[in-house]
Structure 1
């Protein structure tokens, strides 16, 4: 982070109600208490802000690019359009914050807490949110391309119409997550919990589902061309109108427990016929020898 300025933290804390557009960049402000402050468009680029408190502060348009915010507390803060690109946000408390339009490109956000946060139209391109808690958050129309969310909690999150191509959600909990209309090309969802997940009209071409639980998931009208379904659980999984052309490792007995319709496009090695129980019996066709 380079050499940092040594500013009078007590003086800054005393002025926290009037720090709009303040230039505090490249400073050592570890542990500073700016809770309840007014810091609209404050410049805190490349600062040491470990364990700093911004609880219930107004920091709309705040600039935190490249700063170390390990363990900082933003509970209840307003952070509309704040810029956290390439910042260290591991262990940060973002609960009940308004982060709409915020930027987190290439940020390190391991084990951060986002419950109750508004994350609509946020940018997480290439951010690392390993084991972060985003349960129930709103991420509508956000940029999560190449994000790393291994082991993250996204249960009940709302992420419709977002761009998630090549994101890594392996071992994540996405129970009941709303992903309808998302571009998820090339995503890694291996060993993820995807019970009741809404994938309607998603583009999931070349996505990896190996070992995931897709019980009750909804893939209506989704494109899954070239996806890998090895060792997946497909009980009551809805593939109505889905394109499963070129998928690999899709077991016939597993697909027989799923929901299909006349519009479902199957890979060339599987055949589905309607049965008396109202479902479909899926069989594997003989492979053609070269």
Structure 2
């Protein structure tokens, strides 16, 4: 993975301590054989326990304490962990498919390569959690706290992320096709090379986000904020960006083919060498926009005065 840019805050650079092997209470079988499938364990205390490879399929662990528990490769499909505390827990490669984690606390938890497909994480707190290459396909992350969380390469295909708080998160290379990010808080997120094709970014806040080489083909970003965002080499083909705030954003070499940009604000933005073809540009604000070498081809909505001004700034209009 390439080195982080200035948006990196370094919170995850220090390696954590190695998991400590603990002796389990006598009533439990060794961790690799522990089977609590379907068990009623509401409010149970498993804090610090070694539960690697344990079977908690369909178990009821509502409100349980699993802080710092070792749950590596645990089987937890259809589990109920609503309101549970899993701060600092190690859930690497665990299967939580269709799990209920509504309102759970997973701050600083390790969910690397975990399977959370169709899981309910609504309102959960995953601040600074690690979810690299996690499977979150069709999961519910509505109103979830993901501030400064790490989701490099995670699969968020068709995930429901309404009003998610992922400020400062590392979402480099995520697979977010069809993700629902309505009113999402994505300020200063690292979304380089992210796949956001057909995603819903309506009214999302991506201020200062890094979307270098991101693919937003077919996405809907109506009313979104991209102020000071980096969209260099971004693909915005067939993207709806009506009334979007692009103030001081960088869109050098971006591709905007058949893009809906009516009412967009490019005040102080930079679109040098971008390609704008067949796009709707009615009512766009171009004041102080840099368009050196930008190609406008068969666009709709530009006035004669706007064309003259854009040409004077180095744009090429066909």
Work out the CA distance in 1 between the residues paired with 2:72 and 2:230. 37
User: Is the aligned partner of 1:267 residue 2:298?
Assistant: yes
* Aligned with residue 148 of structure 1, among 180, 187, 195: 180
1:130 to 150, 162, 179: 162
Q: Take 2:310 and 2:273, find their aligned partners in 1: how far apart are those partners?
A: 18
Per the alignment, residue 288 of structure 1 pairs with none
Residue aligning to 1:219: 251
Question: Helix, strand or coil: the match of 1:17?
Answer: coil
SS in 1 for 2:256: coil
Q: Check 1:248–1:139 CA distance in 2 against 1; reply closer, same or farther (3 A cut).
A: same
The equivalent residue for 1:279 is: 313
Shift of 1:268: 4.5
In 1, distance between residues paired with 2:78 and 2:315?
60
In the alignment, the residues of structure 2 paired with residue 120 and residue 222 of structure 1 have an alpha-carbon distance, to the nearest angstrom, of 23
Shift of 1:176: 0.7
Corresponding residue of 2:31: none
TM-score, scaled to structure 2 = 0.81
1:112 to 134, 144, 152: 144
Structure 2, unaligned runs of 5 or more? 1-36
Check whether the contact 1:273–1:280 (CA below 8 A) recurs between aligned residues.
no
Return the offset for 1:18.
1.5
The residue that corresponds to 1:100 in the other structure is 132
Deviation at 1:262, TM superposition (A): 2.7
Report how far residue 249 of structure 1 moved.
3.5
CA contact (8 A) 1:228 1:250 kept: no
Decide whether the 8 Å contact of 1:239 with 1:264 is kept in 2: no
Report the 3-state secondary structure (helix = DSSP H, G, I; strand = E; otherwise coil) of the residue aligned with 1:203.
coil
- How far the C-alpha of 1:216 sits from its partner, in A, is 1.0
Residue 273 of structure 1 deviates from its aligned partner by 4.0
SS in 1 for 2:250: coil
- Whole-Å separation in 2 of the counterparts to 1:5 and 1:123: 28
- Asked if the contact 2:42–2:63 (Cα under 8 Å) also holds between the matched residues in 1, the reply is no
Correspondence for 2:193? 161
SS of alignment partner, residue 257 of structure 2: coil
Which whole-Å CA distance do the structure 1 matches of 2:287 and 2:183 have between them? 30
- How far off is 1:67 after superposition? 1.0
**Aligned residue pair count:** 278
Query: Matched residues in 2 for 1:24 and 1:262: separation?
Result: 60
Unmatched 5+ residue regions in structure 1?
Answer: 286-290
User: Cα–Cα, structure 1 residues 92 and 279, in superposed 2: closer, same or farther, change >3 Å?
Assistant: same
The answer for the alignment partner of 1:229 in structure 2 is 261
The offset of 1:9, in angstroms, is 5.2
Per the alignment, residue 50 of structure 1 pairs with: 82
**Contact preservation (8 Å) 1:63, 1:82:** yes
Deviation at 1:279, TM superposition (A): 3.4
SS at match of 1:118: coil
| Alpha-carbon RMSD | 2.4
Structure 2 residue 38 is matched with structure 1 residue 5: yes
Partners of 1:256 and 1:281 within 8 A in 2:
no
